[in-house]
Amino acid sequence: MALVYVVDDEANIRHLAALGLQDAGYETVEFSAGSELLAALTAREPDCVVLDWMMPQPDGLEVCRRMRAENRWRHIPVIMLTARADEVDKILGLELGADDYLTKPFSVKELSARVKSLIRRVDYLASKDELMRSGELELDSARHRVTKNGQEIALSLREYELLYELMKHPGRVLTREILLNRVWKTDFVGDTRTVDVHVRYLRQKIEDEPDNPRYILTVRGVGYRFAELKGEQTP
């Protein structure tokens, strides 16, 4: 049974989310503060975290940032819950490593569906046994690990998925719509700027010069393609 941590300082919302997830077949543990979650992660890692944004410090954004800074926790999917519906706020949450975003008030069925989608995606990627290389960059799907010059690069689940899809199709132009469908599979933000945000942050992690990328190239007005480096093909 998959384990989901639910973090919210509002008890009624926390209980509602947890009960909905339990009805969907998940084990849940509730926390009323981000500090409680961070302490619990060291003892037992969940399959997914449902995390409220607006909490006393450390708030949801800070908790998410700390999770992504730790190699051992960076792969855990995070769904951000918030009453903030502005596009800028959504992008900020994604920039700090959230994998999905749900605005309050929310449907418990939709929450359960999104948790299911993220956990299935993690399981799907873990079932792959592929080793893809391009230049100094290597993606080992069996270990869910990305390295450059032998040094591991810490990626969120979405960043990893995005890189996987691009490296899987070197030289092929993938539109933003295709990437949104393959990587996110839900319209949780509602437009393709989500892809641009993740590409920007992915470039900062894998490129020597993010403003002059070698690996992930922009095809203006269309999308992105992963470069075919001469003599260094991705299988």
Note down pLDDT in tens along the chain; length 235 residues.
999 999 999 999 999 999 999 999 999 999 999 999 999 999 999 999 999 988 989 999 899 989 988 878 888 999 988 876 655 556 666 666 788 888 888 999 999 999 998 898 777 776 667 889 999 999 998 778 899 999 989 888 888 889 999 999 999 999 998 998 888 765 444 567 788 988 998 999 999 999 999 999 999 989 999 998 654 444 4
Q: What pLDDT was estimated at residue 121? A: 79
From 179, 169, 172, select the one nearest 199 (Cα to Cα).
Answer: 179
Query: Cα(15)–Cα(13) distance, rounded to whole angstroms?
Result: 6
Query: Cα(76)–Cα(55) distance, rounded to whole angstroms?
Result: 20
Residue at 170: amino acid letter: P
Residue at 226: amino acid letter: F
Residue at 145: amino acid letter: R
Residue at 172: amino acid letter: R
Q: What pLDDT was estimated at residue 90? A: 61
Q: In what order do the strands lie in the sheet with 151-152?
A: 131-134, 137-140, 145-148, 151-152
Contact between 21 and 112 under an 8 Å Cβ cutoff? The reply is yes
From 146, 141, 156, 120, select the one nearest 24 (Cα to Cα).
Answer: 120
